[in-house]
Amino acid sequence: MTVTGLRRHGHLVFLACATTLVVLWNVGPIGSGDVWWHLRSGDLILDRGLPTVDPFSWTAAGADWQLNAWLGDVLFALTRRLGGLAALTVFTIVATAAAATGTYLLARRWGARPWPAATVTSISMALMSPFILLRPLLAGLALFPFVVLLADAALAGSGRALFGVGVLVALWANLHASFSVGVGVVGLMALGIAVARRTVKIPLIVVVTAAVAGLFTPYGVGGYLHALSVRSASATIEEWQPLDLSDARGVLVACFAVAMALAVAWSPPRRSGESDRPSSGLWSRPFWGVIPLLAALVVLSFTTIRSAAFLLVVGTAPLAVAVGGLRIPRLQNWFVPRRGAVLLGLSVAWIVVMAPLVPSLGRVGTIDVEVPVAATDAVPAGCLLLNEYEYGGLVIDRRWPDVLVSQDGRNDLYGSELLEREESILGGTSPAAVDGFGAGCALLRADRPLVSALEADDGWNRVATDRGAVLFVRSG
């Protein structure tokens, strides 16, 4: 790239470098417990068709089971069959790059200048890093900014964009149940435009198109009902908890929300009848076309931490617009003649930061050292297993149908009551509680007090210790 080209497209190079860093932070050995049951579910669909009842557990055996990501599971399974676990890294790379690209384009469409859009998008992607996990939800995060982009264009009267909204929502609905967030966002955008512009026809067409597209799944309206029921069944799951301001992730998301609110307050959107504001970009949108959407995503993020990723995508636009509106003459006068040197310095800094992350590429396609593979393989066939929540997926992938689990990442299948009961047993010190639960084997974290209790009980034998996990089998 020439010097002129670098100056013209330097912001895109910067964004690409930042996205590469985020990818490197999130590739390497596979440790997520959910990916395993998604893989086995995909195998099950490919081999036997779409299941309707649970085949993987003994605590919910035969219960109605609606796969919340059936197409994502199939794609995962096909990828592993074709290229092994290492090939799954391609999904993380493509989905992360798509999320960054869509977020940047949305900020640009809503009026952000190139460098502020690229810079704030890079920050948003870094904050999104904890949500970039190898599971179908990441596909939803990749599609989300494009759904918002197309919905915005469709509300402006574009027929092609309207068709695109329908296609992307239908695809998302089959890839992951989080599509309901996208449909809800489109609904808020349509409602805001309808109220602000006092028109119903186009907003109604857009929201109906998105809502109907979400029905094009094997479950029809059940996809929406399932999405509504998941929250109530996830009371014990960390990512479904309210925003925790005592940890770093919660603080960073809260700071982002506050910065976004200040950006909106600093340069509020134009209200109906006002003509003294810019005629393009985010701030040209009527008040009710912007504020309800941003406010709803803030509330959703504070009540359910996993929703914060959607806030980071949409919230990038007002922050980037506000940053681009800052005028600091002294800083501009210093930066312009030194632009090349600054870009060179950033490039060197990027290389320095990236270098320690490169070795992780050598571990792509391997299983994380903390995943208890040997203990899982040591579970006797036919044994009713009491297992940690995060171990269930691995047991399903490696041992089904010989071993059935007591719980795994399909929290919507088990319900909060059963998951809370199991956590109470696992967190306790009573072998009698394990006996009463009906388990013949127990795969526990080594730091559980229950480990010592089972060790001292003549009715249980320690069979395996592996990577922070302990396997007990009932005597005889």
Q: Of the candidates 356, 383, 400, which is a domain's last residue?
A: 356
* Whether residues 288 and 313 fall in one domain: yes
Q: Is the pTM of this model over 0.75?
A: yes
CB-count exposure of residue 465 (10 Å: 0-12, 13-18, 19+)? middle
User: What does the pLDDT profile of the chain (476 residues) look like in tens digits?
Assistant: 554 555 567 789 889 989 999 998 888 888 877 899 999 999 999 999 999 999 999 999 999 999 989 999 999 999 999 999 999 999 999 999 999 999 999 999 998 999 899 999 999 999 999 889 899 999 999 999 999 999 999 999 999 999 999 999 999 999 999 999 999 999 999 998 888 888 899 999 999 999 999 999 999 999 898 877 776 666 667 777 888 888 888 899 999 999 998 888 776 554 444 443 444 455 565 556 678 888 899 998 988 888 899 999 999 999 998 888 777 677 667 666 776 677 677 777 777 777 777 777 778 888 988 899 999 999 999 999 999 999 999 999 999 999 999 999 998 899 889 999 999 999 999 999 999 999 999 999 999 999 999 999 999 999 999 888 999 999 87
42 assigned to some structural domain: no
- Count structural domains, the chain: 2
* Residue 399 is assigned to a structural domain of this protein: yes
Q: Is residue 55 part of a domain?
A: no
pLDDT number for residue 232? 65
Q: Does residue 367 form part of some domain?
A: no
Among candidate residues 324, 356, 388, the one where a domain is terminated: 356
Same domain, yes or no: 415 and 333: no
Residues 377 and 325 in one domain: no
Sequence-ordered alpha helix ranges (H) in 110-200: 114-127, 137-155, 159-175, 179-197
Question: Which residues constitute the domain of residue 307?
Answer: 3-30+66-356
Output the pLDDT for position 32.
78
Q: What is the per-residue pLDDT for 352?
A: 78
Strand pairing class (385-387; 460-466)? unpaired
* Same domain, yes or no: 200 and 142: yes
The answer on 447 and 421 residing in a single domain is yes
Same domain, 251 and 381: no
Q: Is residue 273 part of a domain?
A: yes
pLDDT number for residue 277: 40
- Tell me, yes or no, whether 54 lies in a domain: no
Residue 460: which of 422, 433, 421 has the closest Cα?
433
**Residues in Cβ contact with 212 at an 8 Å cutoff, skipping those fewer than 6 apart:** 166
Whether residue 160 is found in the same domain as residue 283: yes
Give the end of a domain, one of 293, 328, 356. 356
Residues 191 and 241 placed together within one structural domain of the fold? yes
Q: Which residue, among 81, 114, 121, has the nearest Cα to 97 in the 3D structure?
A: 121
Kindly report the CA angle at 361 between 358 and 363, in degrees rounded to 5? Answer: 125
In a domain, 450, yes or no: yes
269 contacts 283 by C-beta, under 8 angstroms: yes
For 66, 165, 317, 475, the CA distances from 443, given in Å and listed in that order, are: 27, 45, 46, 15
Residues 210 and 111 in one domain: yes
For residues 312 and 399, membership in a common domain is answered with: no
Phi-psi region of 432 (alpha: psi -120 to 50; beta: other; left: phi over 0): alpha
Angle, in degrees to the nearest 10, between helices 308-325 and 291-303: 140
**Same domain assignment for residues 399 and 269:** no
Residue 190 lies in a domain: yes
One domain, residues 350 and 394: no
Cα gap 96→205, rounded to integer Å: 31
385-387 sheet: strands from edge to edge: 385-387, 441-445, 469-474, 460-466
> Strand (E) positions, 28-149?
none
**Alpha-carbon distance 362 to 349, whole Å?**
23
Cα 268 to Cα 343: distance, rounded to the nearest angstrom: 33
